[in-house]
Structure 1
Amino acid sequence: MTAFSNTPTDKQEQCYVTQEAAPGAGKTAAALARRWSLPLATAETPPGLRLTTGANGVSLTDSRPGSPGLIRVDFLEPRFLRRLQQAGAAREPLVRAVGARRGDRPRVLDATAGLGQDAAILAMVGCPVTLVERSPVLGALLEDGLARARLDPRTQAMASRMTLISADSGDYLARLEATDRPDVVYLDPMYPHRRTGGKSGKAMQHLQALLGPPDDAGPLLAPALAAAARRVVVKRQRRAPALGGTAPDFSVGGSSTRFDVYHRT
């Protein structure tokens, strides 16, 4: 995996790497900064977003007073772990949308990996998943979460099926060779579709500052359709229009979201 430079636009905020002062803080901030080409925080760095490494792993925080809580990629969080352990086609519309069934676990490329929860669900039911994420900060959080998941017997098999790639999805899809085509390309262009209230929703403010306004993900649909061997699955809000105005072959509904499916075969 190749890290790349975190050069924010005028609508994004720079994130600096720092380290907990407590003993046993794990990987040093300097090592984390080098790996992901991120700047180290110094005494002169103004308050703002921080990628913090410590004894409990890597987290995204905001050093300004009154800022929302931290973000971590934690596949072992009890509530999410219960969901993983119960994952299957009956409970997860996403599993049905990608076409996973007994004896058939398609290879999925998650082109908008984010915090990795959808990819984890697919990997938990047996799908090999490649996670492509262009933000080095989210990449660092995902790498840390996967490393911890590989150490726990409840998530070892899941994590072994997940491969993280640090790249721009459009470029990565365009470079795929015919022999590397995934069965399914998954797109979740709905940021910031997460809950906006409560502690969890407030923490997502970090991602809004980090990533800037939502991108128009429509241009990703064409390279996804060209790369996928079987289908493209797009996550949408339940009443949102089809991505790029391109009607899907069918949709799999959920309570607040739906999964639009575009057949390739």
Structure 2
Amino acid sequence: MKDTLAVVASSDACLSAARALAVQLDIPCLDCVSPEEIDAPAQVLYLGAQLELCATGRKAPGPVFVDFVGGSAAHRRKFGGGKGQQIAKAVGIRSGFYPRVIDATAGLGRDAFVLASLGCEVLMLERNPVVRALLEDGLRRLREAAQGDAELAAIAGRLSLEQTALPAVEWLFRQAPESQPVVYLDPMFPGRGKSARVKKEMAAFHLLVGSDADADALLEPAFAACYYRTVVKRPRNAPFLADRKPSLSFEGKSGRFDIHTKHGVPG
């Protein structure tokens, strides 16, 4: 990672924090410089009012960061369809029943935030240290915004990041059998063809994270740890995770939720 990523600060006021983050991640700190003025490495973590993953160079696309307060997260929280959303049905949300969810492949935390906004307590697992830093920064800003917003305060109280940084497979294997109500899996899937192209802004993120080549190994410990169900989010035409047929699936235009049930959720 040292040759492909560095930390930069937006100003002298952020320099101390930027250097500390560089030590934490064991990557260089280039001090105060704009990402567009950098030729190498290909990516930097830009620390200012928020932490951003940026491609470098003058024609680089926009940054990637975790935003639980504004943008698409705010729009979906207000207009996303509530308990009628497929993700809500997939995890088993019912009136008066909001299961605790382990999001074992949290990524940028978007689905975790949706579930927390719907009433579930969500614990995010994320093994990539850079993505974890982005999530920590997003949670920090969510908690700051929540100080003046009761609705955000309730959501912030339900959303957390596992602090051990263990790989999800190991974390799940360490859990007692049937101790976690719902386990949610959304492993990165290698894209093919034009339909799988991602937005330019996400190119840096996909370059950093890659595909989860070991994703199949998640299903067994996830299903062992869950009590009600394990939910797997997949592209619509993707094969079943670990080639294991689910109990049922909810299919949309571009994706689907495969549900592996163990015990029925309360009616």
Matching residue's letter, 2:105: T
- 1:66-105 pair list within 5 angstroms: 66-87=59-80, 88-90=82-84, 92-105=85-98
- 1:158-177 pair list within 5 angstroms: 158-165=155-162, 166-177=165-176
| Structure 1: unaligned runs, 5 residues or longer | 1-6
Question: 1:254 and 1:41, CA in 2 relative to 1: closer, same or farther beyond 3 A?
Answer: same
> Aligned Cα RMSD in Å?
2.5
Alignment correspondent of 1:15: 5
Deviation at 1:196, TM superposition (A): 5.7
Question: 1:146 and 1:192, CA in 2 relative to 1: closer, same or farther beyond 3 A?
Answer: farther
Higher normalized contact order (CA 8 Å, seq sep 6+, divided by chain length) = 1
How far apart, CA to CA, are the structure 1 residues paired with 2:214 and 2:52? 27
Q: Does 1:47 align with 2:44?
A: no
How far apart, CA to CA, are the structure 1 residues paired with 2:30 and 2:177? 46
Question: 1:103 and 1:220, CA in 2 relative to 1: closer, same or farther beyond 3 A?
Answer: same
Native 8 Å contact 1:29 1:40 kept in 2: no
Q: TM-score, normalised by structure 2?
A: 0.84
Alignment correspondent of 1:114: 107
Q: Identity of aligned pairs, percent?
A: 38
Alignment correspondent of 1:157: 154
Q: Deviations over 1:8-27 (max 9, x none)?
A: 8xxxx732222112x64487
Q: Deviations over 1:167-210 (max 9, x none)?
A: 2101111112358x2100000014466x866xx71111112221
Bigger share in helix: 2
| Structure 2: unaligned runs, 5 residues or longer | 32-37
- 1:219-258 pair list within 5 angstroms: 219-258=217-256
Moved over 6 A (4+): none
- 1:103-142 pair list within 5 angstroms: 103-142=96-135
Matching residue's letter, 2:4: Q
How far apart, CA to CA, are the structure 1 residues paired with 2:75 and 2:133? 24
Q: Does 1:33 align with 2:30?
A: no
How far apart, CA to CA, are the structure 1 residues paired with 2:204 and 2:111? 20
SS in 2 for 1:229: strand
Matching residue's letter, 1:37: L
SS in 2 for 1:183: strand
Matching residue's letter, 2:53: L
SS in 2 for 1:151: helix
